[in-house]
Structure formats: structure tokens, C-alpha cells
Amino acid sequence: MAKLYCDMDKYGYQCELPISEAYNSAMKNLVREKFNQFGGKWEEFVFNAEYKLITTTDVKKIESDLLAYGYRFEPSAMSSSRERPEAYKDSNLHEENFSFEHQDAPTESKNADGLELCGVGDNVVTYSKTLSGRALYVRTIDKVLSCLEEVAPNTIAIVDDSGGTLTAPVLEKFSAVLCAGGTARSHLAILTREYNIPCLMNVKLKGIKDDDLLCLEVTAPSKNAEDYDQGREVVAKVWRQHDV
């Protein structure tokens, strides 16, 4: 569990987590403001006027301001750069002809509709119809920079950054996202839900290359908290499309 307390001396300290430091700083500013309004001695303010001048509404406003600035997402967002530091440097990861090869990915031969099953994932939001698009692996900062310049229409991004830090600058450019990690409650899942972008988390894929034409079963039930708690497998399928 992340430490939420301050571990330096009583005076002049700084909290370990930004959310704690931001909250404490806002509270200090509130106390200073109310004490200046009071205009009396500090002892009188603390023992007689503090609870009258500092209200529940004041404290709730500080909390709502912190949430509005996105502080609640900071620990999960920063997990990406901590877990995959190589992706945030000049990378030697060559993504040409790269593919995820998960051994437990279910596969089936091409069916009568020209669809070849090549993986599954946890659906974040249920949509009314399946979605098709071209695969694009986005795993390094170099690929993100190229996506800032141009992303082809109907691009399905395939990523392994469940925190969302790496792909956040270009996320809205994709028609859908497949993520090899995380759950439907991960930071990337929250972001795609907010952007209304179909997303499968914790995908198991095999043999998908850049520019493959994919079909995603985003009509499948979304995996909810109870499913995770009960260990139920609720998956959406990923097909490669071929000409019939």
C-alpha cells in the first residue's frame, strides 16, 4: 500500500505522494485565509473559532478541486513509466513485423464469413455492433510521436500500457484499443470509456501484424467488478478478416 503520510519532520515537510501534498497545501491555505479573517490571536482561533470558520463545505470544495484536476488517477497513470521505463526513452524496440504471441490465446481457422479467431479480451463497454479496422502496434514513444503527425482512419491500436500514460496524447485518434495488460478498471479503460472508444483489456492475441484487418466483438458483455471478484471469464473475441 502506498504511504499517504508525511515522513519528514513536523515542520518544513513535504508529502511523498503529490495528492497528499496538494491536499495538505490547500488545507494550510484555507486555515491561513480563515485565520486572517478572524483577526484575533492564534489560540483563540484554534480553541474557539476554528470549527465555526472552517466548514464542511470548505473541505468538500478542496476535495472536489483535487478530483477535477485528475489527482485521483496519478498513482495508476504513473505506473506505466515505472513499469516500462524503456518505452519512455529513445527506443530500440522494432515494431515492424512485431506481434503478440500469447500461448493461451484461443484460435480457430477461417470460417465461412472469412473470420479467423486470433484472440480474446475483457470488453470495457458494450456497443450495439461489431467494429472493424486496421491493426497498429503502439508500444514506444517513437510510435506515439509518429501518431501525433498522422493516424489512418479506422485504426485499432494494440498496446501494452494499461496505465495509459504512453498513449494518452494520441488516444482520441484511434477507433478502438486492444491492451495486453490491465483490467476493465485500469486507467486506460477509464480513459477509453470517457472518450467513448471501444476497448478490450487483458487481451490474449496470436499472429496479428500491423495493418491486419480486424473485427472486434465489442457487442459482448462488459466485464464488471462482480465478474472479477467471482473469477468469471467474460470475454470478447478478436477476429482477423479475410476475403471470402
- String of DSSP letters for 170-197: GGGG-SEEEESS--TTSHHHHHHHHHT-
Q: Are 187 and 70 in contact (CB under 8 A)?
A: no
Residue 28: per-residue pLDDT: 87
Q: Could you tell me the three cell numbers for 1?
A: 500500500
- Report, as an integer, the average pLDDT of 228-239: 93
Q: Are 185 and 200 in contact (CB under 8 A)?
A: no
- Encoded amino acid at 231, one letter: G
Q: Return the higher-pLDDT residue of 211 and 24.
A: 211
What does the DSSP assignment read for 114-171?
Answer: SEEEEEEEEESS--SS-EEEEEEE--SHHHHHHHHH---TTEEEEE--TT-TTTGGGG
Helix axes 56-68, 18-38, angle to 10 degrees: 140
Question: How far is Cα 28 from Cα 11, in angstroms, rounded to an integer?
Answer: 13
If one looks up domain 115-241 in CATH, what number appears? 3.50.30.10
User: Is pLDDT at 161 greater than 90 in this prediction?
Assistant: no
Contacts with 82 (C-beta within 8 Å, 6 or more apart), sequence order? none
Residue 5: per-residue pLDDT: 40
Residue percentage of the chain with pLDDT more than 90? 42
Please compute, for residue 106, the number of CA atoms within 13 A of its CA located in the half-sphere on the CB side. Answer: 8
User: Is pLDDT at 2 greater than 60 in this prediction?
Assistant: no
Question: Residue ranges per domain, the chain?
Answer: 18-69, 115-241
Q: Could you tell me the three cell numbers for 74?
A: 496519478
Alpha helices in 69-113 (DSSP H): 74-83
Furthest-apart CA atoms within the chain: distance in Å: 84
Q: Could you tell me the three cell numbers for 209?
A: 501484424
Question: How far is Cα 71 from Cα 187, in angstroms, rounded to an integer?
Answer: 12
Question: How far is Cα 87 from Cα 160, in angstroms, rounded to an integer?
Answer: 10
Question: How far is Cα 136 from Cα 117, in angstroms, rounded to an integer?
Answer: 18
175-217 per-position pLDDT tens digit = 999 999 989 889 899 999 999 999 999 999 999 999 999 999 9
Q: Is the pTM of this model over 0.85?
A: no
Contacts with 146 (C-beta within 8 Å, 6 or more apart), sequence order? none
